[in-house]
Amino acid sequence: MLELRSVTKRFGDVDAVREVSLSVPDGAFLVLLGPSGCGKTTLLRMLAGLEMPSAGQIVFDGQVVSDGDRAWAVDPARRNSGLVFQSYALWPHMTVRGNVEWPLKVAGMARPEREARVAEVLRMLGIDGLARRFPNEISGGQQQRVAIARTIAPRPGVLLFDEPLSNLDAKLRVEMRTELMRLHRATGATTVYVTHDQIEAMTMASHVAVMRAGRVEQFGTPLDLVERPETAFVATFVGTPPGNLVPVRRNGTGWVVGGRHMPLEPPADGAQALFRAETLRLEGAEGPRTLPLELAEVSTIAGRVMVTAIAPDLRLTAVTEALPAARVGETVHIGLPETPAAWFAPTGERIG
């Protein structure tokens, strides 16, 4: 089990991580998801033992490894964890073999055992042919594999990844995603994975923590996040395409959306309605639940069509079966369903 108890990290006056508490079982694949600057990398570095929490505890398998309240921590090397850096941090003066072997040497592993383990992980990652090359002689994807091999070689119980795929091109990224999941199954190590890419989170994670401004906005399974977003931020951050959030305001007699009166019953003034893209329709003409918007983007995805239309302060994405008749720049009518999927207060929390 991996537990965080009210973990907080302050840099000077700035709270990089605030009161984060969560726990995942052994073998879980936890993804820390959030935009840049949300504190997810700081959290990961605290897990690795590279940073000391300012408050709170980190617990691996019932043993406290960092205790911010007592300024006490277990050395990074003694936490049974391994970290794959975003930059890979391969030692450029060592060969691929040397990079993988050195940590084992430091750990005092005997030579025959060490050589066997190196060969094993190099094979596992399909880079056994590169053992004698230097990092600058291999491609980015191969460097990535070396970095992973180096990290898993000492068999850590907790594997930590810091945006490992962000430096790879799109195709390689998809391949490596699969590779990492296979590796996760093979090693069985509890994995914590930092990314800003919600698709990675949705595809790989057993658990996701969506972070914003140092806080965990929601913690749950990928399905939880899409089906039951707890906050407006989560609703618009996850899902492909993400949900549409529409502010609804009272105007004298009724409720106004995007300048038009709508027959809606929001639980509060200024609340935001969540409409999923697949529930929006493209209407031929103006109706009681349509909004006139300017067509901005059209793209086809897996046989369906993703349509984005904009008005001042409003941007809606619908997934439809057919291409719209209108051309980009012309007005289209987007039809809203009768009830939104959820309501959020102006401050972001879910209210219905």
Partner 1 sequence: MTQAVLDDPPLRHAAGRRRWLAPGTGLKLVVLGLLALLIVMPLLSTVLFTLTEESRGAWGDVLAGRLSRALFWQPLLNTLVIGVVVSVACVLLGGFLAWLVVMTDIPFRRTIGVMATLPFMIPSFASALAWGSLFRNGRLGGRVGWLEGMGFSVPDWLAWGMVPTLVVLSLHYFSLAFTIIAAALATVSSDLVEAAQIAGARGRRILMGIVLPVVTPALVAAGSLCFAGAVSNFATPALLGLPVRMQTLATRLYGMISVGQTARGYVIGILLVLISAAVLWAANRAVSGRRSYATITGKGGRAKRFALGRARLPLLLVAALILACATVVPVIVLFASSLAPSSAALFSNWTVHYWIGESNPAIAQGIPGIVHNPDILRAITVTLTLGVAVAGAGMALGLLAAYATARSRAGWLSATITQVSFLPLLVPGIAFGAAYIAWAGAPIGPFPALYGTFLLLVIAGTAYLVPFSVQTGRAVIQQVSGELDESARLTGAGLARRLWAITVPLAVRGLAAGGILIFVKIIRDLSLVVLLFTPTMPVMSVLAYRYASEGFTQFANAITCVILVLSVAATLLAERLQARSQPWLKS
By the rule CB under 8 A, 345 interacts with partner 1? no
Contacts of 154 (CB under 8 A, 6+ apart): 82, 103, 104, 107, 109
- 62 binding partner 1? (CB under 8 A): yes
User: Which window, 48-56, 125-133, 195-203, 271-279, contacts partner 1 (CB under 8 A)?
Assistant: 48-56
Q: Which of 195, 217, 190 is nearest to 206 (CA)?
A: 190
From the CB of 29, what's the least distance to partner 1, in Å?
Answer: 15
Would you tell me how many other CB atoms lie within 10 Å of the CB of residue 351?
A: 15
Strand partners, 33: 195, 210
Q: Does 351 bind partner 1 (CB under 8 A)?
A: no
Q: Is 118 in the site for partner 1 (CB under 8 A)?
A: no
Are 101 and 110 within 8 A, CB to CB?
A: no
Q: Which range in 63-71, 165-173, 178-186, 316-324 contacts partner 1 by CB under 8 A?
A: 63-71
Task: Kindly report the backbone phi and psi dihedral angles of residue 255, in degrees, each rounded to the nearest multiple of 5, phi listed first.
Answer: -110, 140
Kindly give the residue spans of alpha helices, DSSP state H, lying in 66-187. 96-106, 111-124, 140-152, 170-187
Q: Which of 34, 154, 164, 258 binds partner 1 (CB under 8 A)?
A: 154
CB of 236: closest distance to partner 1 in angstroms? 16
Q: Is 163 in the site for partner 1 (CB under 8 A)?
A: no
Q: Does 347 bind partner 1 (CB under 8 A)?
A: no
Q: How far apart are CA 32 and CA 219, in angstroms?
A: 9
SS (H, E, C) 257-302: ECCEEECCCCCCCCCEEEECHHHCEEECCCCCCEEEEEEEEEEEEC
Site string for partner 1, 196-235 (x = CB under 8 A): --------------------xxxxx---------xx----
Which span sits near partner 1 by CB under 8 A: 103-111, 118-126, 178-186, 249-257? Answer: 103-111
- Per CB under 8 A, the list member of 35, 71, 123, 269 interacting with partner 1 is 71
Measured CA to CA, the distance from residue 102 to residue 199 in angstroms comes to 34
Residues in Cβ contact with 69 at an 8 Å cutoff, skipping those fewer than 6 apart: 55, 56, 57
**Is residue 65 a contact residue for partner 1 (CB under 8 A)?**
yes
CB of 333 to partner 1, least distance (A): 37
Residue 82 as a binder of partner 1 (CB under 8 A): the answer is yes
Binding partner 1 (rule: CB under 8 A), the pick from 26, 35, 69, 70 is 70
Which of 207, 286, 272, 280 shows the shortest CA–CA distance to 241?
280
Please tell me whether residue 110 binds partner 1 under the rule CB under 8 A. no
9 binds partner 1 (CB under 8 A): no
Give the angle subtended at the CA of 65 by the CAs of 60 and 68, to the nearest 5°: 125
Catalog residues that contact partner 1 under the rule CB under 8 A.
3, 5, 11-12, 21-24, 48-50, 52, 57, 59-60, 62-67, 70-79, 81-83, 85-87, 89-93, 102-103, 106-107, 150, 154, 216-220, 230-231, 349
